[in-house]
Amino acid sequence: MQVIDTPCVVIVGAGLGAIYAALNLAPRPVLMISPEPLGEGASSAWAQGGIAAAMDPRDSAAAHARDTIIAGAGAVDADVAESVTAEARAHILELTGLGTPFDRTATDDYLLSREAAHSFARVVRVRGDQAGAEIMRSLIAQLRHAAHVQVLEGVMATALRVEQGAVTGVEVARCGPGQSAPCLIRGAACLLAGGGSGGLYALTTNPPRIRGQVIGMAARAGAVIADAEFVQFHPTAIACGSDPAPLATEALRGEGAILVNRQGERFMCDLHPDAELAPRDIVARAIYAQTQAGQAPALDTRAALGARILSDFPAVARACRVAGLDPLRDPIPVAAAAHYHMGGIATDAGGLTSLPGLWACGEAASTGLHGANRLASNGLLEALVYARRAAREIDRALGTRHGAAPAVALPELPAAPAPEPALVARLRQSMTDGAGVIRDAAGLRRTLDDIAEVEAAQPDCATMGNMTATATLIAAAALNRRESRGAHYRSDFPEPAQPQGQRSAMTLDDAQSLRTPTRMEP
């Protein structure tokens, strides 16, 4: 294997967390690894809702933390919630200074919307549903002028190099119609900021390449993975047959849109006092139940928004138009889709993982903020907070800064196996069937068996191994958690074991032991 040595901090990923961390590492040299052209293929750019922050003088960080803890169903680290929400306002102000055009009122205050499980309107938006795209556009403009950052586009990280218990490098491969053999890049430190795991499911709102590879890569290196069982399913993916499914942002319900079935009946009112603005797990299970019963759930925006949906929510309007739907005439068909992974690589308050030399932030990380059910629009906030913290801790750990680093150029590399599409499809369907919105022991065991068979069918493909590692961790952690809590719902254990939950922690070896023929139900 060819080896490249560089004094750069190597960042895997090119979404919000990766770019924000890279900017905060200045002037230390940074090398970013991005499978797609910069700005494409990252979940951050697809985020519609916005960033949650107590910007209204009548609101408070303490109230935001309280809502976060309540939504997290007894599994949120309260200290983390309090510290993250306390930083939220500062990050909104910094993004504003970097050029993000947040929506404003006539008096130039931030225009705030209310989303599910928030007790106050505190979601800062851009052009209705364009927050992720516009924030990314602003940060990418800054990154393009950052002399200390080099971006390797069209390159995917496939493995971590661990020597004497510490991470010393990242194996990367060229993307394309196939995949090249790996090349090892040894850097000063490594930050994983490469997204979540939604694409491991057959129905997802995540970009096509976001399939748990970064979490799996860390797990295969020996990192501890926390809360892997907690996968959030968004209640209102647009059910139009697209893969991935376009999203109908929760802000539509914040504006008064309602959920109805094929009879036109509004079904959420009898299920929760907050109706359509109940916590996401409750709404997702209600949508799933309606779908399973053949009741064709839909989001009706006509009375609440009318023609305003076209101007105020352009991404939703565009998705409807592409799918041949007319939200001015009919309700929008919806389904529950894998959307956000609350679990991930376990980190401390500064983003450091259980492996020396390795930090993580964003959806690939698990900080304790989200618990069993992420509060709406806390995802981008967490990415910002931990990206800056990780950058500062990496800078502190490395000490003396180097000057400019020579540009890294990958050599020509031979072709290597890419994941077989039929195996990927089988993996995604198995995860949906057994580790989806509603789970039980029998289904989770079948899923673990399927994952093992998929992995064995292509043992020489590192990318497939990363996907199956994360899938194994999700299913095994879900099998271990013999209760229902937040987004994790076990039909054979439908109640919480106790009011206050416990976070889970697991290595890949732990998880794989549950998919062997000798495993026992925990």
Q: 113 by DSSP, 3-state: which? A: strand
Tokens, residue 305? 């928004």
Beta bridge partners of 439: 490
Tokens, residue 282? 């409750």
d(CA 471, CA 431): 7
Contact 207, 199 (CB under 8 A): yes
> 28, 161, 280, 374: which one is catalytic?
280
Residue 418 is given by DSSP the state P
Closest Cα partner for 223 from 344, 132, 312? 344
Residue whose pair of structure tokens reads 């998919």 in the numeric block = 515
Distances (CA, A) of 276 to 113, 114, 298: 15, 12, 12
Residue whose pair of structure tokens reads 């694409």 in the numeric block = 199
**What is the helix (H) or strand (E) element at residue 431, kind and residue range?**
helix 421-434
**253 a catalytic residue:** no
**What is the helix (H) or strand (E) element at residue 32, kind and residue range?**
strand 30-34
Beta bridge partners of 485: 488
Residue whose pair of structure tokens reads 């914040």 in the numeric block = 254
CA-CA-CA-CA torsion sign (466, 517, 230, 500): negative
Tokens, residue 308? 């305003």
d(CA 203, CA 433): 11
Residue numbers annotated as active site = 280
